[in-house]
A and B are shown apart, each in its own frame.
Chain A
């Protein structure tokens, strides 16, 4: 097996952006990589036991829409929940893994997950809400691993 290392910094907390870190981490682990993900800012949401992430088209003109819709309409209450439900349904139909499944595959493959202590404090988050095995650490903790990594990604 390879002894390569992958370091990922996960900074986003939306449904769409939650995918890249977990897809890449689980795949790299399957290829024999040792993987560490450093979760900071909104990425911390991806560590909560009960995953509650949403997707929005507001501020994202690149998102494919089933029908053209003015931005002000997209911002109406309830739209975000609707878009999230639609995206999840589409993913299921296309055989895309759920985030929960990908994350548990990462846990199973011993992907190391670090929560950024500073942003946990900043957002008054309770780290007991995180899944088991998450460690708290800072930038220096990240570099201890990333400094030796073959691939480092900021997502």
Chain B
């Protein structure tokens, strides 16, 4: 069930790399496409909320499972 268009594995990366990598990946995507991000940095939860709010890209989903964090971001 690929309910996203691209995936970014930012596991093991620390602040601010997950955000910077996400920004870079989104830059190469089309409007309305969805990016799935995997991260292990606990700070990423708040950071992706803040990123979405400030860039206008929509945070569709944010969840934690087994020590990893998963985000779905729709490009504005």
| Residues of A bordering B, CB below 8 Å | 1-2, 23, 26-27, 30-32, 94-97, 105
Q: How many residues of B contact A (CB 8 A)?
A: 15
Helix, strand, loop or mixed for chain A's interface?
A: loop
Cβ of B19 within 8 Å of any chain A Cβ, yes or no, is yes
* Cβ–Cβ contact A26 & B55, under 8 A: no
Contact A30 B23 (CB under 8 A): yes
If A1-B55, A1-B56, A95-B41 touch, whether A27 touches B16 (CB-CB below 8 Å) is yes
B-chain residues with CB within 8 Å of residue A2 when the two chains form the complex:
54-55
Given contacts A26-B20, A95-B41, contact A31 B54 (CB under 8 A): yes
Q: Which of B20-53 contact A (CB under 8 A)?
A: 20, 23, 40-41, 51
With A30-B20, A30-B23 in contact, is A94–B55 under 8 Å at CB? no
Q: In whole angstroms, how far apart are the Cα atoms of A23 and B47 in the complex?
A: 13
Q: Are B17 and A97 in contact (CB under 8 A)?
A: yes
From the candidates A1, A26, A31, A96, name the one contacting B51 in the complex (CB within 8 A): A31
Closest 3 CB pairs of A and B: A30-B23, A95-B14, A27-B16
In the bound assembly, the distance between CA atoms of A96 and B16 in angstroms comes to 8
